[in-house]
Every structure is written in C-alpha cells, then in structure tokens.
C-alpha cells in the first residue's frame, strides 16, 4: 500500500511537470497525450491501491443508530444486538474489535441533559474474526428495514465517493455494496458494477442470475 501511494505521488508530480512545460519545440497535442497517459496510469494505480485497502476491510461492518452508554462494553452491545435483532448466533469471541466512531458534527441544539447522558448513537466500527460470520450478519440486515438501525460495509473513501456519485445520478434507482464492490440498479432495469473513475456508459453490466 505504501509503495502504491508513493508511486501515485510520483505520477502526480510527473503530471505537474508536464503541465508546467512551455518549451516551444514541444507540440501541444503531444504534451496533452503525455499528460493523458500519465493520468491514466495514475488512475490505474489508484484503483489497485483502493482494491488492496478494501480487501483489508473484508471482515468489517459499520452499525448506525445503535446507542452505547458511557460505561458499556461496546463489543457486548454489538453481540447482543446481532443476536436479538438479526437472529444470528454468534459467540463473544466472534467479534475481534468494536468501538464507536465519534460523530464530529457540532452538538448545537442538544440539551444539557442529553449531553450529560453520554448515550451515543454514532457509528460503531466492528471487525469480525471470520469473514463468514460477517457475511451472515450482512445478509440479515434486511431485518432492520423500517427501524432506526442500519448496517453497511466498511468502505474506503474512494468507494464511498463512487456510491455518493451514483446516488446523485438521475439514471440510478438505487445503489449498494457487496464484498467491497459497488453496484447500482438503473431506472431502465439494468444492473451495473462500477469502479472508481468509471462512467455508467463504460462500467460492467451485471447479468441477473
């Protein structure tokens, strides 16, 4: 990952260098071709780095809307939530890590009693010991429909950008992720799988099984 990040920075520096060149002998079209080639290579490495980072998150989920009080064991809260709300039998040892990701939004409008209660409804990051257990939990999240709780995969920032871009695209009906891959159902009925930097026109179309 560090090697990829270093190489991406190297490519970006090459792009800046090419763009700053003003040699009279250098044809503008040739310069543009060189810049496009370096930018394309930069994107390929960014996608590879993103896939490697997402793979490292394959055992993780994020739970939204689940309150955790100040003195509660976050792992135990998550375990009981999965057992009671998702009907998934898990042991205490199935969860490797569970902790609250603080909501950095300002507390404006909260009453003093609310702030002092220390009851949190922020996102809970959860890592499972085994991916199979995580997948069972993900499959059961349909039981949370019309509740205050949601479960999502732990996506990279680049994959989150892809999902947000799709949500703001008029042709898209709905979006979701599975195993770190981003999918969308278009309003014309087509199902697509999209990677970073792709457009709907050139992304992979998924054939329904």
If pLDDT is split at 50, 70 and 90, which confidence band does 31 have? low
86 and 51, same structural domain?
Answer: no
Are 99 and 49 in a shared domain? no
Contact 144, 150 (CB under 8 A): yes
Q: What is the pTM of this model?
A: 0.73
- Contact in structure between 65 and 124 (CB atoms under 8 Å): no
Q: What are the tens digits of pLDDT across the range 40-98?
A: 888 888 899 999 999 999 999 999 999 999 889 999 999 999 999 999 999 999 999 99
User: What angle do helix axes 28-55 and 157-167 make, rounded to 10 degrees?
Assistant: 110
- Enclosing domain of residue 7: 2-55
Asked whether residue 109 carries a pLDDT value surpassing 60, the answer given is no
Residues 141 and 187 both lie in one domain: no
Q: For residue 128, what pLDDT is reported?
A: 98
pLDDT in tens, 166-184: 999 999 999 999 999 999 9
The verdict on 145 and 162 lying in the same domain is no
Q: For the residues 25-48, what does the mean pLDDT come to?
A: 75
Domain count, the chain: 3
Specify whether 109 is located in the same domain as 169.
no
Q: Does 64 lie in the same domain as 149?
A: yes
């Amino acid at each position: 990952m560090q090697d990829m990040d270093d190489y991406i920075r190297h490519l970006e520096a090459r792009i800046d260098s090419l763009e700053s060149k003003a040699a009279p002998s250098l044809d503008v079209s040739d310069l543009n071709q060189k810049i496009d080639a370096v930018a394309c290579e930069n994107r390929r490495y960014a996608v590879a780095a993103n896939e490697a980072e997402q793979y490292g998150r394959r055992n993780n989920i994020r739970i939204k809307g689940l309150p955790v009080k100040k003195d509660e064991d976050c792992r135990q809260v998550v375990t009981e939530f999965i057992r009671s709300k998702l009907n998934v039998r898990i042991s205490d040892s199935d969860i490797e890590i569970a902790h609250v990701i603080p909501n950095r939004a300002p507390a404006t409008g909260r009453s003093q009693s609310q702030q002092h209660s220390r009851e949190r409804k922020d996102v809970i990051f959860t890592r499972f010991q085994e991916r199979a257990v995580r997948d069972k939990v993900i499959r059961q999240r349909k039981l949370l429909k019309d509740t205050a709780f949601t479960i999502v995969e732990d996506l990279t920032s680049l994959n989150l950008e892809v999902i947000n871009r799709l949500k703001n695209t008029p042709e898209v009906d709905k979006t979701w992720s599975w195993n770190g891959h981003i999918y969308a159902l278009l309003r014309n009925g087509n199902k697509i799988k999209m990677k970073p930097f792709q457009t709907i026109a050139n992304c992979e179309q998924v054939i329904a099984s």
